[in-house]
Amino acid sequence: MKYKKWVVIAGVLCLALMLAVLPLLGSACAGPEEKTIKVGISTPSTGPAAEKGAPMGHANLDCIKYINEELGGVDGHPIEAVWLDNAYDASKMVTNVKRFMDEGCVLFTTSSSKMMSSVMEIANRDGFPGFAAFNAPVLHRPPQHIYGQMPDYGDDWVAFSRYYMENIWKGSGKPKMAMHLLNNTTGYGALDAAKAAADELGIEILPPEEHATDTISEIESLTRIKEQNPDVLYISSTPAPTAVIIKNAVELGMYPGVTIGLGHAGITKALVDIAGADIVEGVYGVFPTVNWGDNVPGMAKMTEYCQNLHPDDYGNMDYITSWAQSLIIAEILRVAVANAGYDVLAKGGEEAWQAVETQGIQKLNYDVGGLHGPVIYTPGDNRLSKSVRLFQIQGGEITPITDWIEAPLVKYEEFDWFGQ
């Protein structure tokens, strides 16, 4: 009986000891959800820009999967992506960014300049750092808390126009350029550059035309353009409306004939698929990433994940853009953890936002696996990458025709018309 009594007592003592130690074990062996770093990511994966947003959302999350599962996250801390679709709707984007802030995200990204323009006032006021893959001058001039992952739509226009004047234009006097612009920052960014640099480049800008993302015909606007006998037509838009414009230009007998140049929001595989390779043959465009199959260090792993998880996105350069975006997120967090410590970031809120910006973003010097220009913060310039290339659609393929072109800083805020 004494033996049984001591067994019972020992059992009770063991149980009490386990109950006392269990909370400590739970803390020491905290699951990944308690050691993560939260970031907000929003893409227009549905709605009128879904042909761009869907592959970009895939790439963001595919790359974060790679970072967490193969690279061990950031200094051992998995990235927790709070991903939200914005449907290319400004009101939804405002709701999204407020949720990112409330849920402890330390930074946020968008894929489109339009969506960033809808929330930049909130983010700048509260000091919540963010960056946009597709970028317009109004997002970062003058520089505050919003950054451009790559050169902006104004940089596109300048790069194309210089190439046009040096390699295509053979006439005398000034060539006449028509501009067909999406009625948001995608279009207005290109127009800002034209206002700032057309005289210097020796180009006459015709009265610009605008279109909406859901346009189904631009015959009327292109008829007005045709009557002015332009030498070149520059389109800054997304793939679906760009396809409509080029198809209509063919129907009106304008193309082939005029030279057509595109900003980087429009010249993607989706454009070729929507319009048809024969329609867009010979069209020029600017894009700030490498092409699929280029011999750069980051290509193999990205290709592996794309082909395994989202094979339909292979060949779409928008996927490259967002894969690179997630690599940059990881690098920002790595640098911020090294400089400010994980505990500061883990808490979220203003202290974390300031640490991510000053100890992460503003200390970047990263090559992004060669997928686009190096990401290097320069004081006074919130464009993180500053290089573009010229492409031409040849045989249905978007083919590079230049090496990297460095886009110089333009201080648009010094022009009295900027932002008006």
Q: Which residue has the tokens 């994980």?
A: 342
Q: Which CATH superfamily is domain 36-151+292-385 in?
A: Response regulator (3.40.50.2300)
pLDDT at site 12: 39
Does the N-terminal peptide bond of residue 256 adopt cis geometry, omega within 30 degrees of 0?
Answer: yes
Q: What angle do CA 141, 317, 286 make, to 5 degrees?
A: 55
Q: Are 295 and 395 in contact (CB under 8 A)?
A: no
Q: Are 240 and 47 in contact (CB under 8 A)?
A: no
What are φ and ψ of residue 370, in 5° steps? 75, 10
Nearby residues of 104 by Cβ (< 8 Å), 6 or more positions away:
38, 347, 348, 349, 352
pLDDT at site 34: 56
Average pLDDT taken over every residue of the chain: 92
Is residue 266 pLDDT above 50, yes or no? yes
Is residue 231 pLDDT above 70, yes or no? yes
- Per residue in 275-320, pLDDT (tens digit) is 999 999 999 999 999 999 999 999 999 999 999 999 999 999 999 9
- Per residue in 3-58, pLDDT (tens digit) is 344 433 444 333 343 333 333 333 333 343 459 999 999 999 999 999 999 999 99
Reported pTM: 0.88
Report the pLDDT averaged over residues 152-164: 97
- Per residue in 161-172, pLDDT (tens digit) is 999 999 999 999
154-287+407-414 belongs to CATH 3.40.50.2300 = yes
Label residue 241 by pLDDT band (50, 70, 90).
Answer: very high
Q: For residue 203, how far is the Cα from the chain centroid? A: 29
Report the pLDDT averaged over residues 142-168: 97
- Per residue in 60-117, pLDDT (tens digit) is 999 999 999 999 999 999 999 999 999 999 999 999 999 999 999 999 999 999 999 9
Cα(257)–Cα(183) distance, integer angstroms = 26
Say how many C-beta atoms besides its own lie within 10 A of residue 163's C-beta: 18
Q: Which two tokens stand for residue 179?
A: 């501009």
Cα(216)–Cα(420) distance, integer angstroms = 29
- Per residue in 372-419, pLDDT (tens digit) is 999 999 999 999 999 999 999 999 999 999 999 999 999 999 999 998
pLDDT at site 420: 76
Cα(13)–Cα(8) distance, integer angstroms = 9
Helix (H, G, I), strand (E, B) or coil at 168: helix
pLDDT at site 419: 82
Does the N-terminal peptide bond of residue 23 adopt cis geometry, omega within 30 degrees of 0?
Answer: no
Q: Which two tokens stand for residue 373?
A: 């220009």
- Domains 36-151+292-385 and 154-287+407-414 fall in the same CATH topology: yes
- Per residue in 198-215, pLDDT (tens digit) is 999 999 999 999 999 999
Report the pLDDT averaged over residues 361-365: 98
Cα(224)–Cα(202) distance, integer angstroms = 23
Domain-wise residue ranges, the chain: 36-151+292-385, 154-287+407-414
